[in-house]
A and B are shown apart, each in its own frame.
Chain A
Amino acid sequence: MTAPRSGHGVGASLRRKEDARFLLGRGRYVGDIRPAGTLEVAFLRSPVAHARLLGVTKPAGAEQRVFVAADLPEIGPIRANSALPGFRVSEQPALAQGKLRHVGEVIAACVAPSRAEAEDLVAACELDYAALPVVSDMLAARAPGAPLIHEHWPDNAFLETRRDEDLSDLDAVAAAKVVRRLRTARQSMAPIEGRGVLAEWDPRLEQLVVTTATQQPHVTKTGLAECLGLDEGQIRVVSPDVGGGFGYKAILLAEELACAALAMRLGRPVRWLEDRLEQLTANANCREHHYEVTAWADAGGKLLGVEVNATVDAGAYSAYPFSACLEAAQIGSIFPGPYTLPRFRFHTVSACTNKPPILPYRGVARTGVCYAMETTLDALARQLKLPPEQVRQANLVPPEAMPYRNLVGKVFDSGDYPEALRRAVAAVDVAGIRARQAAGEAVGFGLAVFCEQGAHGTSVYHGWGIPFVPGFEQAQARFTPDGVLEIRTGVHSHGQGLETTLAQVAHQILGVDPARVRVVHGDTALTPYSTGTWGSRAMVMAGGAVAEACTQLGERALAIGAALLQAPRAACVLRDGAVHAGEAKVTLDQVARTWFRSPQNLPADVDRGGLEVTAGYRPDPDTGTHSYAAHAVVAKVDTETGCVTLESYVIVEDGGTLVNPMIVDGQVLGGTAQGIGTALYEEMPFDSEGQPLAGTLADYLLPGATEVPDIRIDHMETPSPWTRFGQKGIGESGAIGPPAAILNAINDALAGRGAEVLDLPATPARVLAAIERALA
């Protein structure tokens, strides 16, 4: 098999096959699907953050249309365990039982022919509860005597992790020491499409069909089976077009369980569509970290050691499947970042609070970790009076050390981190900024360098012991009788462009025109089992699996083609969608037609598996690829209003071999917009009673087109030595760097005034408060 000459294979910026339907408004989402007889669900949700639930009085006459936990005993609790030592698993009832643990927790499901009528039923329910003291802050959660959220636990912590190393000698030898307390805000992931579930019972197949906006249809099926006590064969999960995931849709939902149970109970389709109020307030569920960082460096900026005490607000329950500890327990292993840290001590806590359960949002813990590490490095640079890039260059893993194993055992596969930083700095007029600063202007230059582990597999996740461990990714490749190539994959595409990039991979191997490659995903009945799309894994794992399946399919096609050409197999090659023997050729269409419709022409020794192959793939080692990037930002601060303007934004990014550079750019740009949200805009404030305070998108600010600057992207392409084409996971990178780079730019702008912003987001009020603190 030889590489195609079409320019549509790996490395081509092929236009996205799926865009025709999206741009014409022909996508089909859960909200577009409403079978006859569908009942709509509205949920009665907890109005308080912590209380004993004493009872629900159903509206008179509507007793059969309102369902509380006792009405649906067939739903078992959601349990997302972790095998990490000391992890405490929470029992999350789909419908609240006994206690209410966060605002927005589902208490009862109300069904009616329309959503408005279902909401009428919700409004008519009477809720009886006895309020309990609220734990609204992750640090207060750990204070002695704090109210217990799970009363049989000794304290409000899902998990603590530690690495002990005595750093007490560093004070005496370090040229600089900085201590920072930093906080990142709780955010509400905000895909354009919220969640949505349609559950139906198919009496013919005796099968529950759940159409749900999920990134992980197979994992959702497994979770539904566990909680509902059904065989997995009795459940089919369909994930149609999905309007953005980001981790928000990588969860088994209480709402999915309730709708499923109701569909089985009522014998009618049952649908719930999340509205924006539910999305913002009941699901403010990510990013909230607190750090105490101490760092010591020598006079050249070389780190001598770092100590981190990190707390993550994990909310009230352990969400399925990623668990309550995914963020905090990772902090220890990813904090060293792209640097050669010699000594390291950490303590992390996954704190349990009266807030919605934490979910891993694009970038997962790395966004907070990068923020903490990179702002600490800038603080060191200021103290040492060194340029920030110099401090980083003193610590970055050098290319000649690749593959590099760091002091906590992370293995970086490939790359030239210092070069990425050099290019990013060179793309900015740093001297011009220094001149403007000297003239008194509040303008600043900020950097962030980080790496993103992606597509990590069995060897990493078996240690976590969460409800699933990714193994061999499988893909199916098969020809239809007319020669169309179908690729069936268990990952899901919800913005990643996999319908295009997986077709490019197939084209690379088989030469079939991408227009004749049909990528099927999002249906457990049609695709091989997969843990789905998360952790920047799809292009590495599914891309590798599709390549493997196509390679095997190509061998079978080659054998048939050779027979049709009456040529020895060794004399045949598969190229550009045809089997060639010298000047003679037979197209794959003809090969497919022969197998399906003219089997009399097949060779006697044909592979009886036919033109349908399921193949598995896993990189070796499967510890993950490490893409990396340097972000360089120029920001201007209005010292009267506190407003920050991003004047320039540069990203130097290395995602290994880029399967489709245009799509990678889209991933980087979208992620960076979200990172700008984390840095400057997005925050769900909670009051001391655990009430979320931003109920609309006029209060919860998301960056829009006018808030995102033109972003310049420069690609490096260092192939990963471990993956099929050298590709690396890169889906989350854009969302990791911006808070660090932007806050470093802000603090550089304010350094002359002695001001420093430590907490995210850097809202105008926070920036102004920092300036006023410095004046005081």
Chain B
Amino acid sequence: MKPAAFTYARPADWNAALALLGEGARPVAGGQSLGPMLNLRLALPEAVADLRHLPGYAGVELAGEVVRIGAGTTHAAIEDGAVPGRLGEILASVARRIAYRPVRNRGTIGGSFAHADPAADWVAVLPAFPGHAVLLGPQGERRVPLAGFVLGVFETALRADELLRAIELPVLPQATRWGHWKFCRKPGEFSKATACLLAVPGAAPRAVLAALDAAPLVLADAAALRAAPAAEAARLVATLGLEDPWRASLARVALRHAAEAAA
């Protein structure tokens, strides 16, 4: 379990990072997914570009009604309150349950989202928010709605020459309701079902069901689920055609618990 040889580069600025990408380098942030894949030789990149030292890669900025979270912000920073207000409370509650603290100390929100493991926590949660992923490519920045970023298993809207630079989320009113439930038999296990529901006053509630071994299911209007959690969870999961009855039951339970918690 030692990686095959690769060259390692630590780009000093974003242009250098994009240039390395153009040469085929694999970007790495906290390395909590790519590290084991390298050790198991499941990933065999010729070059790795370590993004952690890019200016502005980590950190949270408030600009008007938008909170911009640098892609390199660690789960631990979010857990410890790097994001202010009601939004920060919600994100901290998610971050707190990601694997173990040593993983959270190094793992990043952007690295996890861009890796797009279907069982990952941010993959299951961010699509519920009316915000954007900020992508940086040779032509500059572009914004992709969070609900449209993860396209499939390990598949995202990122083009081969683009990096995920930041996550932009709206400031949330204190009255925002939130429900989140995931199934792990022990800390650190990959989730077998995750669901969340976000109800911002004055807007349609949004929900996500994830860890389905597929792209997350995003409900842009989860009013029916919020009104009748059990029945609607059962109806929604039935439409997914899950083969494993246990996983289907977990998905129903996840949706129901998330909706009930956000009631």
Contacts and interface: CB of A to CB of B under 8 A. Distances in A.
Interface of A: 114-116, 119-120, 123, 275-277, 640-643, 681, 695-696, 698, 701, 703-704, 706-707, 764-765, 768-769, 772
Interface in B207-251: 244-246, 249-250
B227 to A, nearest CB: 21
Interface string B1-19: 1111100000000000000
A698 B190 contact: yes
B5 A116 contact: yes
12 contacts: A114-B2, A119-B2, A119-B4, A120-B4, A123-B4, A123-B41, A275-B1, A681-B186, A696-B36, A701-B185, A707-B186, A764-B246
Given A119-B2, A696-B36, A764-B185, 10 more contacts: A119-B1, A120-B5, A640-B249, A641-B183, A696-B40, A698-B190, A704-B188, A706-B186, A707-B185, A769-B246
Interface of B, helix, strand, loop or mixed by DSSP: loop
Contacts of B185: 643, 681, 701, 707, 764
A701 B5 contact: no
A59 to B, nearest CB: 14
A277 B183 CA distance: 25
Interface residues of B, number: 22
B40 A277 contact: yes
A717 to B, nearest CB: 35
A249 B24 CA distance: 44
Report whether over half of chain A's contact residues are helix, strand or loop; otherwise say mixed.
helix
Nearest to B252: A640
A169 to B, nearest CB: 44
B249 A641 contact: yes
A123 B42 CA distance: 12
Contacts of B245: 768-769, 772
B187 A706 contact: yes
Contact of B1 (A277, A641, A681, A701): A277
A765 B246 contact: yes
Contacts of A116: 2-5
A704 B40 contact: no
Given A277-B40, A704-B186, A768 B2 contact: no
B189 interface: yes
A651 B217 CA distance: 46
Given A116-B3, A768-B246, A704 B187 contact: yes
Contacts of B4: 116, 119-120, 123
A640 to B, nearest CB: 5
Contact of A768 (B5, B41, B189, B249): B249
Contacts of A695: 40
A701 B192 CA distance: 14
A677 to B, nearest CB: 11
A365 B171 CA distance: 60
Given A123-B4, A276-B1, A642-B246, A701 B40 contact: no
A643 B249 CA distance: 12
Nearest to A644: B185
A120 B5 CA distance: 8
A31 B249 CA distance: 45
Nearest to A276: B1
A119 B183 CA distance: 36
B191 to A, nearest CB: 11
B253 interface: yes
